[in-house]
Structure 1
Amino acid sequence: MVVLQLRHFLYLAALLSSTFTFLFLYFQNSKLVFTYNFYSFVSERSQCACSICVADRGNSNWFSKRYQPNIPLLLNRTNSVLSAKVSRWWNGLQSNAGNYTEVVDQLFSLFPDKEHYSDAGPDRCRTCAVVGNSGNLLGSHYGPLIDQYDFVMRINKGPTEGYEKDVGSKTTHRILYPESAMDLGNSTHLVLLPFKILDLQWLISAFTTKHITETYIKVPSTIRAKKDKVMIFHPEFLRYVYDNWAEGHGLYPSTGFLTLIFALHVCDEVNVFGFGATSDGKWHHYFDETLTSYELGVHSGKFENETVNRLQQQNKILIHKGWT
């Protein structure tokens, strides 16, 4: 009888020990979030394999309130139906709205109709560089650093040729719209920013009939790019950035700001180059000397700039200013 009790005790001790070990290993990289019910909790697994993961919402209440991980980023046939709220806002940005449903049908008979960037997980560490067009890139010698990231996202017409030592030569994603279109290399994704239905129609035309040559200004009738690398920002994503990140400031977010928030969703580590003023406080592109004012225009650049700086303060991005 004593031997039986001893065996039973040793069995329970071994079971408890193995259970404790399992729970310790499971939770050592997890985060406990306690609710108002003291005895309940939610365990949130590590978001990625980087030392700091952008998508970890537990370390910043400010970030957590704004970041929606399930927002549709890119348009495809299955998510193309717009809510009334998004449709009203998006249609309000354009003067002559066409038949959106017909355009979507045409789009995805030509371009990839699939989910993108659904590979997030605890084993992934995707590093990204978001490269803006600020004059603070000149003389920075950031080129080799920028080129080492997994994704290098560039905005509008920002050139690389002739500026490689400061801005790099690698481009995996080019975010543009018809009025800022340029030819792309074979390894670059064309990411269309559709401010209007006509932008979607231009994309179709540029790869087929080439008949659209003007929007509110003259635009290229065609573009050199890989059809199987075309992506399109979802109008709901545009509205989400406007509501959650721009907080309704301006008429709509800028291309650079939209690209940065996009990077927060598809990257695990985000480094930012070419945003902000030069060391003497001037705002101009690295490829021209025309001065601009970030406080004027439709984008509320001042608020966007403050938000970008806040993201750095919250350890969500690292801004490389080109000067110290």
Structure 2
Amino acid sequence: MATRARAAFVSRHQLVLALLSTLLLVCIWYFGSQPGRSSDPLPVVPTTLGCTTRARSSTWFDNCFNSSLSPVWTPANKRLPPHVHDWWLGLQQQGDVGLPVVLAKLFRLIRARKRAATERSEIACLTCALVGNSGNLKDSGFGHEIDAHTYVLRMNRAPTLGFQRDVGSKTTHHFMYPESATNAGENCSHVIIPFKVLDLLWVISALGKGWITKTYAPVLRFLHTRPENVHIYNPAFMKYVHDNWIDGHGRYPSTGMLAVIFSLHICHMVDAYGFGADERGNWHHYWENNRYAGEFRLTGVHDADAEYDVLLQLAALGHIRLRRPS
């Protein structure tokens, strides 16, 4: 009888030890696999890509890149240096009537309630897919690869519906100015590029009662998004792109060039899609049937060749990867 009791006790003791061992293994696996733990110092980010690229050192890049500048205009940096103020207001020559009052009202409206995806994290591996509008995206099949990035940046009226196989469907940042604005989704960051005080007023209008329907061209009446998802491109950053990166070529940088440098400031790895001409040397948009449209190069406002040269140089140094169909 005593022998059976002793055997039962030993059996129960072994069972308890086995359960405790299993629980310990589960705890080790769970806590060891959590973001920020010692076995995995980088938090998990929603991407299937890794920050595996290493840029080569370059005096040119070091002279161009200014990490102290924020790409986004906020209450903290709302006061523009005089040379930036004058340059910015001269772009479309409409003056600064009411600028301080407009900015105060705008920043009250769009005050972010959480950390915005407009800053580079020093602990996460953040990857950007910068999607241009070139016709070379047609039949590229890049859609799935694009959507695998942490951030997907698009611009102006670029559509995704009907083109998902080539351009993807995910959008986290959409760059636009009032005359090119589109509703990019309630949870998407709408990055507004202002060229005049009226553009700032348009943001207030589009998030409110929609009283502005035209500037020099018809504009979108409403932005269907939360105010905290609207970010204003910093005119000082725009001037920095114009001066440092494209050496003053063109009247001001294109939306694409502004997005390129923006992405360098918020991501550790940047893949650029849909930039440059197609395989026949034509410049047009991927959603256009007219292969010979090329209106970007005909505006006279931007220097497409100078901007593309910067893109090629960034790619050669490993700061971006220029993705084109093989």
Cα deviation, residue 162, structure 1 = 0.3
Q: Say whether residues 1:215 and 2:209 are aligned partners.
A: no
Query: Of 305, 310, 317, which residue of structure 2 is paired with 1:307?
Result: 310
TM-score (norm. length: structure 1) = 0.80
Map of 1:83 onto structure 2: 81
The AA in structure 1 aligned to 2:210 is K
Map of 1:319 onto structure 2: 322
Q: Report the 3-state secondary structure (helix = DSSP H, G, I; strand = E; otherwise coil) of the residue aligned with 2:72.
A: coil
Map of 1:70 onto structure 2: 68
Map of 1:120 onto structure 2: 121
Q: Say whether residues 1:286 and 2:289 are aligned partners.
A: no
Distance in 1, matches of 2:167 and 2:52, equals: 26
The AA in structure 2 aligned to 1:271 is D
Cα deviation, residue 240, structure 1 = 0.2
Cα deviation, residue 321, structure 1 = 1.6
The AA in structure 1 aligned to 2:195 is F
Distance in 2, matches of 1:184 and 1:226, equals: 12
The AA in structure 2 aligned to 1:50 is C
| Superposed CA RMSD | 1.7
The AA in structure 1 aligned to 2:53 is I
Q: Deviations over 1:15-69 (max 9, x none)?
A: xxxxxxxxxxxxxxxxxxxxxxxxxxxxxxxxxx933366xxx711111110001
CA 1:129–1:92 in 2, change beyond 3 Å: closer, same or farther? same
Matches within 5 A, 1:143-182: 143-182=143-182
The AA in structure 1 aligned to 2:251 is L
Unmatched 5+ stretches in structure 1: 1-48
Q: Deviations over 1:282-303 (max 9, x none)?
A: 1100011341155442011110
Map of 1:9 onto structure 2: none
Map of 1:24 onto structure 2: none
Q: Say whether residues 1:51 and 2:52 are aligned partners.
A: yes
Cα deviation, residue 108, structure 1 = 1.2
CA 1:313–1:222 in 2, change beyond 3 Å: closer, same or farther? same
The AA in structure 1 aligned to 2:99 is Y
Cα deviation, residue 72, structure 1 = 2.1
Map of 1:108 onto structure 2: 107
TM-score (norm. length: structure 2) = 0.80
Cα deviation, residue 196, structure 1 = 1.3
Distance in 1, matches of 2:310 and 2:84, equals: 23
Distance in 2, matches of 1:243 and 1:74, equals: 18
Matches within 5 A, 1:13-52: 50-52=51-53
Q: Deviations over 1:135-162 (max 9, x none)?
A: 0000000000000000000010100000
Contact 1:112–1:231, Cα closer than 8 Å, also in 2 = no
Map of 1:193 onto structure 2: 193
Distance in 2, matches of 1:246 and 1:196, equals: 22
Unmatched 5+ stretches in structure 2: 1-49
Distance in 1, matches of 2:324 and 2:119, equals: 31
Cα deviation, residue 239, structure 1 = 0.3
Distance in 2, matches of 1:238 and 1:169, equals: 28
Matches within 5 A, 1:256-295: 256-290=256-290, 291-292=293-294, 295=297
Q: Report the 3-state secondary structure (helix = DSSP H, G, I; strand = E; otherwise coil) of the residue aligned with 1:199.
A: helix
